[in-house]
């Protein structure tokens, strides 16, 4: 199975400041069709996860442009350019290049 490792596991950020979460996979997520199936989700308390970024860097419609995804191969990053109060929650990376689909452990983001 592909192991997804997120760092840090928790983050305390001052509103208006940037934040960055790293996600490393144990194998390359590059697929033979040229795509890389790396996703970012945010889960707020009591809610299902919500998709933020798909295939490394594609922002879902309606997701603020302060969220961006980058990376390739085995190293990926989610950046929030200016954290807002509504961004609190647990962020997960997930790969679907190989079955079983696997998630990172989650990164809890809180506001200082």
Q: Note the residues at the interface with another protein (CB under 8 A).
A: 37, 39, 41, 43, 47-51, 54-55, 58, 60, 92, 94, 96, 99-106
Cβ 30 to another protein shortest distance, Å: 16
Beta carbon of residue 17, minimum distance to another protein (angstroms, whole number): 26
Which residue lies nearer to another protein by CB, 1 or 18? 1
CB nearer another protein, residue 16 or residue 34: 34
| Residue 62 C-beta: closest distance to another protein, Å | 10
Per residue, the 3-state secondary structure of the chain, as one string, reads CCCEEEECCEEEECCCCCEEEEEEECCCCECCCCCECEEEEEECCCCCCEEEEECCCEECCCCCCCEEEEEECCEEEEEECCCCHHHCEEEEEEECCCCCCEECCCEEEEEC
């Amino acid at each position: 199975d592909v192991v997804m490792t997120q760092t840090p596991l928790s983050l305390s950020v001052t509103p208006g400041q940037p934040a960055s979460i790293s996600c490393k996979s144990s194998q390359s997520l590059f697929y033979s069709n040229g795509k890389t199936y790396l996703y970012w989700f945010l889960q707020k308390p009591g809610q299902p996860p919500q998709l933020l970024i798909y295939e490394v860097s594609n922002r879902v419609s309606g997701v603020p442009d302060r969220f961006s995804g980058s990376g390739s191969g085995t190293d990926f990053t989610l950046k929030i350019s200016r954290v807002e109060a509504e961004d609190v929650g647990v962020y997960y990376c997930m790969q679907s290049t190989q079955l079983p689909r696997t998630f990172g452990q989650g990164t809890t983001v809180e506001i200082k």
